[in-house]
């Protein structure tokens, strides 16, 4: 029972911005799959999915567990072992408990990682989608940097990103464009909120276009006026570490080996081992991150051609100007290809 929206989309083709609503792809060992969802989603399912058997429940009535259990009984699966995704969003406690009550003879097992295996290595077509997303993302960089100056608000910067990315062909975003300006630049997961920038501020931009639901993201930092020595130093360390990362990536190496070799470059910023990247690809709101694999110490994942990652590295401390830079990249037969390659040097706005 696949209930994590990106996994449902990957396996069935079904796409909808209503990714927070219930949907389930029933994948039996034998026979055709079934999509089970709210009735309002039958149109998007018929438009985007190859699955022929689509079952619906009333949107405002609930009854997801009862409806799903009825389908499983119809398929004579009452006494089987059935995989579920308890480690992924989409499987609520209410749904799980309802299934257990309706199907007391079923043994539910953790299959959270089943869809991760095919998703982690992208096909040539998937990588091409990410290349096209990257080209749109880079146009966002080119468009937003010239408008940043004292007095301009973070909302105005975000508006340029929204306009540029969408007009250049992006679909709705998996993660909304992030503009962390002024005091917010030093705080993770903050974004635009009508804040004008002034001399001495930094701005962290992080955004990614979506093409066929595949995202290639960039993070970039801007200094309003001459940067402080601390901002210059952190920017230099981060970009040198990213360069080391891209040189170290080779098929056959493990994420642990690469992180252990490269992560020392960030020791001056972070005394503890950091995450040097996470898998990225097909996404639906609220995130472009696949939440599958990471480049960090302790992860024994063998890097293979077709694996794609986003590597945002930052120096952020509340109360001080923050900086951050990133690229989206793919493992190749000989190393890695940077999909979003651009000028990563700190942008300095003259005032």
Q: What is the domain-level CATH number for residue 31?
A: 3.40.350.10
In the chain, what percentage of residues exceed pLDDT 70? 100
Instruction: Specify the pTM.
Output: 0.94
Q: What is the pLDDT of residues 155-197, one digit of tens each?
A: 999 999 999 999 999 999 999 999 999 999 999 999 999 999 9
Is residue 267 very low, low, confident or very high in pLDDT (cuts 50, 70, 90)?
confident
- The residue from 51, 79, 114 where one domain ends is 114
Structural domain harbouring 66: 5-114
Q: Which residues contact 8 (CB under 8 A, 6 or more apart)?
A: 2, 14, 23, 24, 25, 35, 90
CA nearest to 245, candidates 322, 188, 325: 325
Whether 39 and 174 map to the same domain: the answer is no
Q: What is the pLDDT of residues 57-99, one digit of tens each?
A: 988 778 899 999 999 999 999 889 999 999 999 999 999 999 9
- The residue from 85, 114, 143 where one domain ends is 114
Quote the pLDDT of residue 342. Answer: 95
Is pLDDT at 151 greater than 80 in this prediction?
yes
The number of domains in the chain is: 2
Q: Cα angle at 123 between 247 and 279, to 5 degrees?
A: 50
Whether 83 and 132 map to the same domain: the answer is no
Q: What is the pLDDT of residues 269-292, one digit of tens each?
A: 987 789 999 999 999 999 999 988
Q: Who has greater pLDDT, 267 or 12?
A: 12
Whether 245 and 320 map to the same domain: the answer is yes
Spatial contact of 38 and 56, defined as CB atoms under 8 Å apart: yes
CA–CA distance, 36 with 62 (Å, rounded to integer): 13
């Amino acid at each position: 029972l696949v209930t994590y929206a990106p996994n449902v989309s990957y396996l069935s083709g079904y796409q909808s911005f209503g990714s927070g609503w219930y949907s389930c792809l029933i994948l039996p060992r034998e026979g055709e799959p079934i999509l089970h969802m709210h009735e309002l989603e039958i149109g998007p399912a018929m438009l985007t999915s190859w699955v022929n058997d689509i079952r619906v429940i009333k949107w405002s009535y609930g009854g997801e567990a009862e409806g799903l259990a009825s389908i499983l009984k119809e398929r004579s699966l009452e006494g089987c072992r059935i995989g579920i995704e308890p480690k992924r969003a989409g499987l609520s406690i209410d749904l799980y408990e309802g299934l257990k009550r309706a199907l007391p003879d079923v043994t539910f097992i953790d299959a959270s990682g089943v869809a991760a295996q095919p998703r982690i290595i992208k096909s040539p077509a998937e990588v091409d989608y990410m290349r096209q997303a990257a080209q749109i993302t880079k146009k966002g960089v080119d468009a937003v940097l010239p408008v940043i100056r004292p007095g301009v608000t973070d909302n105005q910067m975000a508006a340029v990103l929204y306009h540029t990315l969408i007009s250049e062909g992006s679909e709705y975003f998996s993660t909304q464009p992030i503009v962390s300006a002024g005091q917010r630049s030093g705080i993770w997961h903050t974004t635009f909120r009508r804040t004008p920038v002034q001399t001495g501020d930094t701005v962290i931009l992080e955004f990614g276009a979506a093409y066929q639901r595949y995202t290639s993201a960039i993070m970039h930092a801007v200094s309003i006026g001459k940067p402080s020595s601390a901002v210059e130093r952190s920017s230099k360390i981060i970009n040198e570490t990213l360069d080391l990362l891209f040189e170290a990536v080779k098929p056959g190496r493990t994420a642990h080996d690469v992180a252990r070799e490269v992560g020392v470059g960030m020791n001056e910023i972070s005394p503890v081992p950091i995450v040097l990247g996470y898998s990225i690809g097909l996404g639906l709101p609220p995130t472009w991150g696949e939440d599958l694999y990471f480049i960090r110490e302790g992860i024994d994942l063998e890097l293979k051609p077709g694996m794609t990652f986003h590597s945002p590295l930052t120096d952020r401390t509340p109360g001080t100007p923050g900086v951050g830079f990133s690229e989206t990249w793919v493992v190749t037969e000989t190393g890695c290809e940077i999909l979003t390659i651009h000028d990563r040097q700190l942008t300095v706005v003259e005032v």
